[in-house]
Structure 1
Amino acid sequence: MAQLIAKRYAKALFDIALENHRIDEFEHQVHMVYQILDSEKEFMKILQHPQILMDEKIKMLEEIFSSKVSNELMGLLVLMIQKNRQEYILEILTTFLEEVKNYKGIVTATVVSAVPLTTEQINKITQKLISSLNKQIQIETQVDPSIIGGLKIRVGDRILDASIEGKLHSLKSQLYDLQLV
């Protein structure tokens, strides 16, 4: 249900941005609003609190965002409060940003390594992914010491596991299969 709600509102905002040729502007504003709301957990609790009046919530949103975002985005935020769907705001904003990435042909690749990667290593991985996928790549890095070494790369629903942990797991499975024969 939450995904359906987020998709509908995000798609409506995306359609408005596309129709008005303001994709980049909306993307920047949505990203800014998302960062603020995601980092201010207490503010989100206030927006979701049932004993705070709707008008007060709207007034707070307008004081914070009205001078920083378009009327369309402000209208969406106000509508979320009016419809009592404020708990979906972050998901709607995330879904909108995903719509923009799809529109621009940008794919997010998550690279997991045992130690932090250098900028040079990230650039090499990015170039290899660009050449193999023929798409723009946005890299997100994560550090997970449990993989011991190597990399895990996730692009969409595809995963390349070149980690030592993955190889050990594969070897363990092969040895287990040998014992059964």
Structure 2
Amino acid sequence: MEISGGITASLAGRYATALYELAHEQGQVSAVEGDLERLTDALRESNDFAALIRNPLISRHAAGQAMAAVGQTLGVSPLTGQFLGLLASKGRLPKLVDIARAYTTIAAALRGEVTAHVTSAHPLDDAQVATLADKLAARAGKSVKLKTAVDPDILGGLVVKIGSQMIDSSIRTRLNSLAQAMQG
């Protein structure tokens, strides 16, 4: 298994690569990916949890105990639990979100998959998500995993981001373009 690219040069990339290799050896790539997704969701939803992993006054031992409790609450795999303990012992918990992002990128790349971040004005139903995934896969030439978000401010249409490419068909952008054209 060859992991290449600039992502592995960063600190987060090195940790993510090591975790991926262990997960691959143990047949737990998807389980660990799900664990990391639940952890990042929890960090996004809980200011207390986010503050905990960034607090330099909490000892590494106490941070390790706290992460063990969080891991148990979220039902993470033993491998992910051990990894969280390692991050706590090394003082690397503040890098957890970056490590999770790098892990997901590595896993997706090795599966031949890209992630598309789709923002819509209203929630998309399952049929719309499936149709959009098929169209984006045809355009990208790879399997596409969709991450959806809702932002009523775009008024309608979609904003799709795949890697560094952005497709903005939102009504808000079209109205702004029309307003600029009318101003001359």
> For this structure pair, what is the TM-score category when the shorter chain's length is used for normalisation?
0.7 to 0.9
State whether structure 2 residue 100 is matched by structure 1 residue 96.
no
Q: RMSD across aligned C-alpha pairs, in angstroms?
A: 2.9
State whether structure 2 residue 155 is matched by structure 1 residue 155.
no
Aligned residue in 2 for 1:10: 16
Check 1:46–1:124 CA distance in 2 against 1; reply closer, same or farther (3 A cut). closer
TM-score when normalising by structure 1:
0.75
Q: Return the alpha-carbon distance in structure 2 between the equivalents of residues 163 and 170 of structure 1.
A: 11
Letter in 2 for 1:24: S
Q: Return the alpha-carbon distance in structure 1 between the equivalents of residues 102 and 136 of structure 2.
A: 24
Displacement of 1:172: 4.4
Letter in 2 for 1:84: G
Trace 1:105-120 onto structure 2 (pairs within 5 A): 105-120=112-127
Structure 2: unaligned runs, 5 residues or longer: 1-8
Aligned residue in 1 for 2:174: 167
Aligned residue in 2 for 1:70: 78
Structure 1 range deviating more: 123-132 or 39-48: 39-48
Trace 1:32-43 onto structure 2 (pairs within 5 A): 32-43=38-49
Structure 1: unaligned runs, 5 residues or longer: none
Conservation of the 8 A alpha-carbon contact between 1:38 and 1:90: no
Check 1:37–1:175 CA distance in 2 against 1; reply closer, same or farther (3 A cut). closer
Q: Return the alpha-carbon distance in structure 2 between the equivalents of residues 14 and 48 of structure 1.
A: 24
Q: Deviations over 1:108-140 (max 9, x none)?
A: 222233333333322222222222223222222
Letter in 1 for 2:120: S
Q: Which has the larger radius of gyration?
A: 1
Identity %: 26
Q: How many residues align?
A: 174
State whether structure 2 residue 88 is matched by structure 1 residue 81.
yes
Aligned residue in 2 for 1:27: 33
Give the secondary structure class of the aligned counterpart of 1:112.
Answer: strand
Displacement of 1:173: 4.7
Conservation of the 8 A alpha-carbon contact between 2:68 and 2:84: no
Check 1:48–1:121 CA distance in 2 against 1; reply closer, same or farther (3 A cut). closer
Check 1:172–1:94 CA distance in 2 against 1; reply closer, same or farther (3 A cut). same
Letter in 1 for 2:164: D
